Amino acid sequence: MLKSDFDRFWNNTLVPLAENFERKYTNCSFDKSKKHKVYESYEEIKNKVHSYMQQEGMKIDRHKIAAIITFSIMRNSPFSLNNLPAENPKIIEHLANEYISFASSLSLIRSFIITKCQKENDSIRENIFRQNYVFPDSEHCHYFIAVVRNLYYSKLNQSLDIFTLANLYFMIESYTEIYKKQEMFLNLNPSPDTLSS
């Protein structure tokens, strides 16, 4: 990701999401001055990821870029908390950095997909990703929040893994696409039970 792309991501995706979060949860403050540190972390982690890849000169895919962005935001914690009790992952404000890093990274993946679809004239896939992501059902809380909590605990235990998170982003993208295509197919081919009612 070029610096100009990062600037666009920061200004058009991350900052609006952060400001919405800040308005909703007034005990949080978003520090825009952390932008440079987040970008420096992105570059550092990206170079490390490149060194792990098997083929030299191979480009990093959108899922790894998103995972690197996620960790770069979490590492630099642009959100700080005001007047809240001790760390408690049940209080959403304590998860602000993880929440915003996950949400903005999903938006980044969406923008990569839409750009690719427009280049390839793939209107079906573009329409799928112009809508919200679809997440699997989760027993205890919304899947999105479950991932945010996992990120929080991973950071707390210093067990963050770029490649695992990149794979999770790939799975969310795939799940969304398969679910939406199945939904479209069922709408085009209703079952006999649906037709008779």
pLDDT in tens for each of the 197 residues of the chain? 889 999 999 999 999 999 999 999 888 899 999 999 999 999 999 999 888 876 766 788 999 999 999 999 999 999 988 776 666 555 788 899 999 999 999 999 999 999 999 999 999 999 999 999 999 988 888 999 999 999 999 998 988 899 999 999 999 999 999 999 998 887 776 666 654 54
- CA dihedral of residues 20, 21, 27, 28 (deg, nearest 10): -100
Contact 75, 156 (CB under 8 A): no
CA proximity to 105, closest of 67, 134, 138, 131:
67
Q: Please count the CA atoms within 13 angstroms of the CA of 71 that sit on its side-chain side.
A: 25
Look at residue 191 and give its three-state secondary structure.
coil
**How many CB atoms sit inside 10 A of residue 112's CB?**
18
Q: Distances in Å between the alpha carbon of 185 and those of 8, 60, 124, 131, 190?
A: 36, 33, 12, 17, 8
Task: Read off the pTM.
Answer: 0.88
Strands (E), 4-63: 28-30
d(CA 101, CA 34): 13
